[in-house]
Each structure stands twice: as structure tokens, then as C-alpha cells.
Amino acid sequence: MRWKRGRRSQNIEDRRGMNTSARGRGARRGGGMKIGGGGAILLLLASLFFGQDLLTAFTGGGSAGGLGGSLGGGIGSGQLAPPLSQTSGVRDNDEAGQFISAILADTEDVWTKLFQQAGQRYQVPKVVLFEDGVNSACGFTSSAAGPFYCPGDSKVYIDLGFFRTLQEQMKAGGDFAQAYVLAHEVGHHVQNLLGVSMAVQKKQRQVPKIQANALSVRTELQADCYAGVWAHHAHKDRQLLEPGDLEEGMNAAAQIGDDALMRNAGRRVHPDGFTHGSSQQRQTWLYKGLESGDAQACDTFNSQI
Ligand SMILES: [Zn+2]
């Protein structure tokens, strides 16, 4: 990726090196929306550790008609971000931090443009960099759960160590694979602004687990599609992609598919337990966004997935 020449975002909260303990705090259900990789192999361990099923922690996907993919869905779900507090970027010599800052800036530019075109205003999310564990409006979350977005505070949370796991354990290396992870979480932020997250959460509380999982899959696939929409415009407007980037993204989407994760964890592949979609589904929707650059093409709630 040609990310170095791009502008940087100041909407980064660097909490690395801060001592965060889970003690006295319960990891809460109804928390973040994850990429679906994030030490997913460690996820079961984490689930055992916290005594709850992080695999089904909030995700969602409401069949709420017309919400999915429509930028006309309307902002005003009543859960928008609180006013920005302190802002801090990252140090010049912090390459990993600079990368996040550059990709975040690019997602800001793309989504601001797309919201504007739809007559809406894009409210930028913050990205929190942390190590080991972090407290958010979604409770305490261990790094083992992977990157996530918390709708309650409109922030994306990433332990950069995840990218090592992604490359070494999940065989999904490359800068575009990492950018896809961030853009997927930003995709959840877009869903939050459009009111999708809330509609889905509400619906999920009313249905059996299998259906709640199915809604989760549709939500996650839409976030994948939105990641593709971002990449489409980043390339069209700023020629961000280099040869090989597309392949890195498609490979990452395959490696973090639920079937691949289950297989790699030595578990039986059971589609009812999918929360993020199969490898093929994740590739399909990432590609749909990449190819079209159109958020309307990401209506996973009213499409065959
Ligand atoms: Zn996700």
C-alpha cells in the first residue's frame, strides 16, 4: 500500500503502556463488534476465562428493512459519540501507529465524502491503541478477543499485537490485510451512525441464539463490504493500492472466515455457530464493496448471502 504519503489522523488515543487490569470488572456481554479473527483461537480460552461466550458477544444484523447498506438510513440513532475529549496522535518513529493513523485518516476522507453525497454528515470515530486489555463503554475486553468496535463510545479498539497473530498464526500477512481489519471496524462505526447496530441489537434480544448468530453474520459481512467500499475509493482517489494488495485482503478474508477458524482450532465446522460468515462469504462481500465502491451494494440484510 502507498500509505506513507497520505495524511495522518489525530483521532487516535494511544493507551499502550498503560496498566489495565480486568480485576474487579466483568467483561460484559453486549460489547464490541469484532473482526472475527483476533486471536479467535484464543477466543475460547478468553471465553472460559471470563465465564461467558465472547463468540456471541454483540454483533448483530437486523432484518430491519432497508437499513442495510443504505446511506439514506438516517443518522440519529441516539447513540452517537460523546464530544471528543483529548486527542493525541502517535510518535513520528512509531511505524505501526503511523500506519493506523494514515489508514484511519483515509477512511475519514472516504466516508466523509460518501456521507456528504448522501446528504449526511460523517462523525469520525476514534481509534484506541492498547495492550493486553482495555476498558470501554462495552466493559473490559482482553486483547485475546481481537480488535473490536464499541458502539457505546464510538471507538475502535486495537491491540497492534493482533497483526502479529494475523500474520503468524492465521497466515494473513501484509499491510492491506491490516488495513482491512481497521476498515472493517470502521465499517461497524458506519453501521452505528446509520442506526443498523441498534436495530440489530434490539432484534437479537428477541430471537433464539441461532437466529441471533445469523443476524450477526449479516452485520459482519456488511462491515466487510464497507471495508471494500473504503478501499475502492481510497484507490480511486489516492491510488492507495499496489499490486498484491487485493490478494492480501482476499486471503485475510478467507483466513478469518468462521469455517477456517473452527477448522484451525480443531473444531467441527457447524454453520449454526457462525457469527462472522464463512471464508467464501467474507471474500464475496469484501469484493462486492471493492468492486462497486457503493455502500448500497452492501445490503446484506436483504440479499442472498
Ligand atoms: Zn466485525
* Ligand 1 centroid – CA 86 distance (Å): 26
In a domain, 123, yes or no: yes
The count of domains in the chain is 1
- pLDDT score of 145: 92
- pLDDT score of 74: 37
Name the more confident of 82 and 4: 4
Q: Is the pLDDT of residue 78 over 60?
A: no
Name the more confident of 48 and 211: 211
* Ligand 1 centroid – CA 216 distance (Å): 9
In a domain, 112, yes or no: yes
Residue located via cell numbers 484464543 = 42
In a domain, 4, yes or no: no
* Ligand 1 centroid – CA 298 distance (Å): 14
In a domain, 5, yes or no: no
In a domain, 6, yes or no: no
Mean pLDDT of 36-62: 39
- pLDDT score of 20: 65
**Ramachandran assignment for 112, one of left (phi > 0), alpha (psi -120 to 50 degrees), beta (any other):** alpha
- pLDDT score of 51: 32
All three cell numbers of 153, joined, read 463510545
Q: Is the pLDDT of residue 151 over 50?
A: yes
**Parent domain of 86:** 12-302
* Ligand 1 centroid – CA 62 distance (Å): 15
Residue located via cell numbers 480488535 = 147
In a domain, 128, yes or no: yes
- pLDDT score of 250: 96
* Ligand 1 centroid – CA 150 distance (Å): 10
* Ligand 1 centroid – CA 299 distance (Å): 16
Mean pLDDT of 84-107: 82
Averaged pLDDT score across all residues of the chain:
83
In a domain, 2, yes or no: no
- pLDDT score of 3: 95
* Ligand 1 centroid – CA 256 distance (Å): 11
CA distance 150 to 60: 13
* Ligand 1 centroid – CA 36 distance (Å): 6
In a domain, 214, yes or no: yes
* Ligand 1 centroid – CA 188 distance (Å): 7
Mean pLDDT of 56-78: 37
* Ligand 1 centroid – CA 176 distance (Å): 17
CA distance 291 to 225: 10
The helix/strand/coil state of 133 is strand
- pLDDT score of 83: 40
- pLDDT score of 27: 44
